[in-house]
Amino acid sequence: TLSRTNETDFTTTTRYRYDANTGLLKLKVEQEGDANEVFTTYPDYDNFGNPEQIEVSPDSVNGRNIFYEYDDTGRMVTKVINELEHYTEFTNDYGLGVVIQTEDHNELVTEYTYDEFGRKTRTDFPDGTWTNTLSDWAIDGNQLYYVKSSAGGKGDLIKYFDKLGREILSKTVNVNGDSVF
């Protein structure tokens, strides 16, 4: 339950059901009892305990299926396919445990660059646009660190986080250097 002064409390419930023999997740119901209830079922797993299929539906009857393929070690996703057979293939850096490239069924390629800690520093999109991301310390009040995202020809988005990883401030710096909170 979330509470704020002079506002109505907000409560959301998520229910989980696990397989009694394997301990693997079989069902997740989000916003249970609400008009926006979402059912997610996990009918198939591989030998490593990774879900091979996930069905998401708003009413527990009519859903969309997503299928997953993994590398031979079961460590990382290599392909995601939907019911229309649209897919995205993943090229992974196993040293950092990150995705370095995706290619979809239209042969559109997105590339990702990381620093030595596995933090994403750049994304190059198929249309030629890009986004740079910088993470650094921000010792000011209860701000601990910030993440600055820059997109070609656009202003910067800077998000500040506290020691628990919660976003506490967000600002945009336009191309003229003006800050908007």
Q: How do residues 39-68 score in pLDDT, each as one tens digit?
A: 999 999 999 999 999 999 986 567 899 999
Domain termination site, one of 25, 60, 85: 85
2 and 73 share one domain: yes
pLDDT of residue 27: 96
Q: What total of structural domains would you count in the chain?
A: 2
How much is the average pLDDT of 96-123?
A: 97
pTM: 0.77
How much is the average pLDDT of 147-160?
A: 88
In this predicted model, what pLDDT tens digit does every residue of 12-47 receive, in sequence order?
Answer: 889 999 999 999 999 999 988 888 889 999 999 999
Print the domain residue range for 163.
129-181
Q: Strand pairing of 109-114 and 98-104?
A: antiparallel
Instruction: Report CA-CA distances (Å) from 40 to 15, 51, 103.
Output: 10, 12, 26
Is 91 part of any domain?
A: no
Give Cβ neighbours of residue 104 (< 8 Å, ≥ 6 apart). Answer: 86, 87, 88, 89
